[in-house]
């Protein structure tokens, strides 16, 4: 979907990319080739590349914006003609591929108002909507859906799990004028509901009546002690008793050791603390519920969903391990159009991409197996060689010992020859 534009802009530190961005106004499908400006306003901002990655469904169609440097902030944005989503759906859709086995980094997009200074876009820049996956370690693997309402950002109260594998996945957010929303991953609904229910945009409709108090005679005990129940006379028994089988040691010296006492053991007749049995409370009224009243601070707002002057689509994120590829960006007011585009792009390339990834994994696994086998063979050869060398050393030592023994025997024989006999003496 994306093409690199080779002309150099006049601005410094700006990488210009041309990306297919689809916008639908009043259900009329328009296609724009817009300029993406990557503004490297700080030394730790990473560079974007136009890549399809190590595996893909189509080498050209799957080219997208890829993060290329580890442990960097990234910022890139595209401006278009401002519009409002008043009275119609707003659909935000794009694909993300974390082929680098991401450990910690964002994979979301942001929608900005027209007053955004793209040259100074950063993490604190005010935005309308933030949507997409965010992964960091094992604890954070979720889809962000954050809206700006009256100058304050609000996070969704539900937990939406994102995909955390290495394949390309499609993320879709649908915002409806009836104040409902829907989140889809790979063209399948994973969450939906009401804006007012699933975000804390407004104060609660009802609050507890500050004037109400629980009546003093309100009995919320479901069970009570049976007043007619009495403790049996033989109930009280000591918890521990002297061991009847214990005997004083024969070497026990009372003058030295004191008076002998048998050790204590648990009493088998001990019944514990006596409590009267429980019966239903005839005066039970149930749990007291604090009455509620209308919240005087609540005021309905039928325009929570509405954003005026939508004008910039941007990627503003941090990544520890780079390699994420963003593509197939779409902003439209036609849900059906978004579904169709998803089928024409991600829907066409997902299976070839999966197949290519599987083939690469199989080849890598085979190479690893061959490498391990070769290492085992070399280890066996080294072991055999070591054993041969050890045997040779043992044989050499045995030969040296035999030679030494022979020399000693010959020396003894020579000594016997030169010694005089008794007859000669």
Contacts of 308 (CB under 8 A, 6+ apart): 84, 86, 113
Residues annotated as binding site for an alpha-D-glucoside?
108, 110, 127, 134, 316
Q: How many CA atoms lie within 13 A of 423 on its CB side?
A: 0
Burial class (CB in 10 A: 0-12, 13-18, 19+), 134: middle
Residues annotated as binding site?
108, 110, 127, 134, 316
Q: How far apart are CA 102 and CA 323, in angstroms?
A: 8
C-beta of residue 314 within 8 angstroms of C-beta of residue 329 = no
**Residue 117: which of 316, 308, 319, 304 has the closest Cα?**
316
Contacts of 139 (CB under 8 A, 6+ apart): none
CB-based burial, 169-206: b 16+ in 10 Å, e otherwise: bbbbbbbbbebbbbbbbbeeeebebebbebbebbeeee
What 8-state DSSP symbol labels residue 45? B
Tokens encoding 360:
């690469």
């Amino acid at each position: 979907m994306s093409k690199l534009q080779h002309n150099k802009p006049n601005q410094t530190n700006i990488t210009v990319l041309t990306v297919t961005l689809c916008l639908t106004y009043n259900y009329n499908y328009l296609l724009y080739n817009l300029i993406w400006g990557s503004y490297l306003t700080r030394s730790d901002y990473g560079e974007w590349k136009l890549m399809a990655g190590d595996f893909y469904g189509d080498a050209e169609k799957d080219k997208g914006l890829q993060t290329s440097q580890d442990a960097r902030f990234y910022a890139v944005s595209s401006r278009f003609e401002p519009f409002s989503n008043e009275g119609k759906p707003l659909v935000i859709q794009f694909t993300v591929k974390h082929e680098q086995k991401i450990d910690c980094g964002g994979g979301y997009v942001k929608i900005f108002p027209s007053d955004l200074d793209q040259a100074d876009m950063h993490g604190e820049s005010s935005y309308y909507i933030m949507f997409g996956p965010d992964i960091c370690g094992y604890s954070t693997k979720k889809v962000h859906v954050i809206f700006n309402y009256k100058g304050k950002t609000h996070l969704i109260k539900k937990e939406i799990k994102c995909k955390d594998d290495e394949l390309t996945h499609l993320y879709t957010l649908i915002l409806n004028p009836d104040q409902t929303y829907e989140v889809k991953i790979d063209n399948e609904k994973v969450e939906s509901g009401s804006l007012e229910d699933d975000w804390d945009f407004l104060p609660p409709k009802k609050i507890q009546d500050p004037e109400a108090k629980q009546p003093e005679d309100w009995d919320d005990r479901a069970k009570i002690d049976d007043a007619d129940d009495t403790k049996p006379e033989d109930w009280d028994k000591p918890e521990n008793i002297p061991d009847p089988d214990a005997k004083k040691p024969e070497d026990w010296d009372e003058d030295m050791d004191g008076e002998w006492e048998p050790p204590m053991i648990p009493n088998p007749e001990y019944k514990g603390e006596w409590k009267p049995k429980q019966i239903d409370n005839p005066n039970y009224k149930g749990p007291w519920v604090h009455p509620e009243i209308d919240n005087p601070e609540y005021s309905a707002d039928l325009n929570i969903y509405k954003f005026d002057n939508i004008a910039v689509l941007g990627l503003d994120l941090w990544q520890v391990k780079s390699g994420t590829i963003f593509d197939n960006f779409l902003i439209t007011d036609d849900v059906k159009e978004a579904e169709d585009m998803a089928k024409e792009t991600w829907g066409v390339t997902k299976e070839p991409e999966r197949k290519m990834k599987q083939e690469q994994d199989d080849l890598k696994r085979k190479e690893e197996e061959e490498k391990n086998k070769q290492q085992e063979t070399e280890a066996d050869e080294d072991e055999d060689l070591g054993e041969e060398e050890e045997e040779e050393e043992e044989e050499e030592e045995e030969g040296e010992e035999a030679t030494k023994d022979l020399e000693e025997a010959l020396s003894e024989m020579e000594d016997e020859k030169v010694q005089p006999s008794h007859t000669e003496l």
